[in-house]
Amino acid sequence: MTDTTLREAAAQSKAWPFQEAQRLLKRHPQGKPGGSPMLFETGYGPSGLPHIGTFQEVLRTTFVRRAYEALTGEETRLVAFSDDMDGLRKVPDNVPNQAMLTEHLGKPLSRIPDPFEKYESFAAHNNAKLREFLDRFGFEYEFVSSSDRYNSGEFDDALRNVLRHNQAILDIMLPTLRAERAASYSPVLPVSPTTGSVLQVPVEIVDADAGMIRFTDENGETVEQSAFGGQSKLQWKVDWAMRWVALGVDYEMYGKDLTDSGVQSGKIAKLLGGRKPEGLIYELFLDQNGEKISKSKGNGLTIEEWLDYGSEESLGFYIFPNPKSAKQLHVGVIPRAVDEYWQFRGSLAEQPLDKQLGNPVWHLARANGGCTGSEAPGAGDTLPVTYGLLLNLVGVLGADATREQVWSYLSNYVADADPANHPDLDVLVTCALAYNRDFVAPTMQKRAPTANEAEALKALDAELAGLGDDVPAEDLQTKVYEIGKDEKFGFENLRDWFRALYETLLGSSQGPRMGSFIVLYGIENTRKLIAEAIARA
């Protein structure tokens, strides 16, 4: 496979990362002036710990970045920008030393002591956690701190540009604000020389070129000081536009809730002599009730929770499709995401290149920069047992099932059943045990079979009674089918028969191919399940 072939396929691909990459290419069809790499950015507010929203934004941006590289063969950069000059407006609920943080409300996050007492500031702590978080998933990025840029003077020229256009920026922003907010609004926020707080007060520009501003401090005194060198920061919409221009950002995506902010920041960027980046506006995550996920409500699903019950790859797989459509994010979506990831991974090697470029696994393989060719690592790999089947096995074993016990049953189904031979499956065994313990076992109810269902179960038991453990799963599946199709048992369709099996034997409304389950659980153990179900009739 040549680079030319890949680029030609990328230019025609309808997969959304390539659609974004194609749009970005039109921004600089001859390459970026001066030969600079195309710059992608993701933003982060370090007033709290990184979360699943941070992950999805960096991952989706990386999908587009790698698609652009495949499309053009050009180098790119990804900047993870931390707005740690922002003033602390609210003390997070999930941190220690709440009283201490309350005393520092309003101060830049980078100038507040670390409540965890591990780093020089609260921002430094959360920035370190962000980098650990991104490194954990293998993202390739450059970390940029707002406070470093402001304090070092690297943003001084950009600030000077904002001060020169202060009134024009006000003309953009004031019509969008309520009267009370407009009365105190200023594009530039001075840092109080007496309290160190970031002030939301009207500011008079004394000398834009020199950076001199005048404002009323918290103690009522009129202060004249420089805006440079970390003595001020910008309102965030102005700040967003300023850094687009100062850093030369070409691509940044953001959530639907920031749509209007993106419009205003785009106008300001143009005013400052720059250009709004290309970018996708993505939909937000919803909980299982269809409500917007809120960190304060705690109605979402954390990264840690997903990884307790599913694989890392399955999370990326679930996030990949349709970023412009809202997704429900709760534990119930995990099993299907795991199995569909492996289905797509298994089919990748057999797909033609144009289909590969639409396969989420192709993009996931490139997300950390570990693959640059047309082939994806692990393409064609499959699991010997689906996650759904694992969950059914663990479900019948009960809440006290162990990893060793599960692997002993897997030996009925997998020729070389050993964790060392199947590390991916071993991860899922641990996940299945946790999922069953926390969500399945506490609520499992195996209903009693109806009269006709009990007769069908007796017929299945009779079929199994004469069989050895070496009967193939497909043969067992055929026997199950034949019983369900037998008119004397009164099933209108096979779906009703299988639902009866799942609900009476497994305590679930849906389940695996029964032939595979019987081989995995064993014929004698399956007959015991049937006997227990018939006894409830």
Q: Distance between CA atoms of 344 and 274, rounded to whole angstroms?
A: 41
SS3 content of the chain, % helix, strand, coil (to 5): 50, 10, 40
Q: Is 325 exposed, middle or buried (0-12, 13-18, 19+ CB in 10 A)?
A: exposed
Is residue 307 within 8 A of residue 318, CB to CB? The reply is: no
CA dist 320 → 40, 368, 485 (Å): 18, 15, 40
Q: Distance between CA atoms of 59 and 37, rounded to whole angstroms?
A: 19
Residue closest to 69 by CA, chosen among 45, 98, 108, 40? 40
Per-residue buried b or exposed e for 2-30, using 16+ beta carbons within 10 Å of the residue's own CB: eeeebeebbeebebbbbebbbebbeeeee
Whether 3-173+234-282 and 445-537 share one fold: the answer is no
Is residue 276 within 8 A of residue 263, CB to CB? The reply is: no
Is residue 242 within 8 A of residue 272, CB to CB? The reply is: yes
CATH of region 445-537: 1.10.10.350
One digit per residue, the tens of pLDDT, for the chain of length 537 reads 568 999 999 999 999 999 999 999 999 999 888 889 999 999 998 887 778 888 999 999 999 999 999 999 999 999 999 999 999 999 988 899 999 999 999 999 999 999 999 999 999 999 999 999 899 889 999 999 999 999 999 999 999 999 999 999 999 999 999 999 999 999 999 999 999 999 999 999 999 999 999 999 999 999 999 999 999 999 999 999 999 999 999 999 999 999 999 999 999 999 999 999 999 999 998 888 888 876 556 567 888 999 999 999 999 999 999 999 999 999 999 999 999 999 999 999 999 999 999 999 999 999 876 555 555 666 678 899 999 999 999 999 999 999 999 999 999 999 899 999 999 999 999 999 999 999 999 999 999 999 999 999 999 999 999 898 899 999 999 999 999 999 999 999 999 999 999 999 999 988 999 999 999 999 999 999 999 999 998
User: Phi first, then psi: what are they for 96, rounded to 5°?
Assistant: -80, 180
pTM: 0.93
CA dist 430 → 121, 135, 258, 330, 409 (Å): 37, 23, 39, 19, 14
Per-residue buried b or exposed e for 150-179, using 16+ beta carbons within 10 Å of the residue's own CB: bbeeebbebbbbbbebbeebeebbeeeeee
> Which residue type does 46 have?
P
**What are the domain boundaries of the chain?**
3-173+234-282, 445-537
Biggest CA pair distance of the chain: 96
> Which residue type does 229 have?
G
The answer to whether domain 3-173+234-282 has CATH 3.30.300.180 is: no
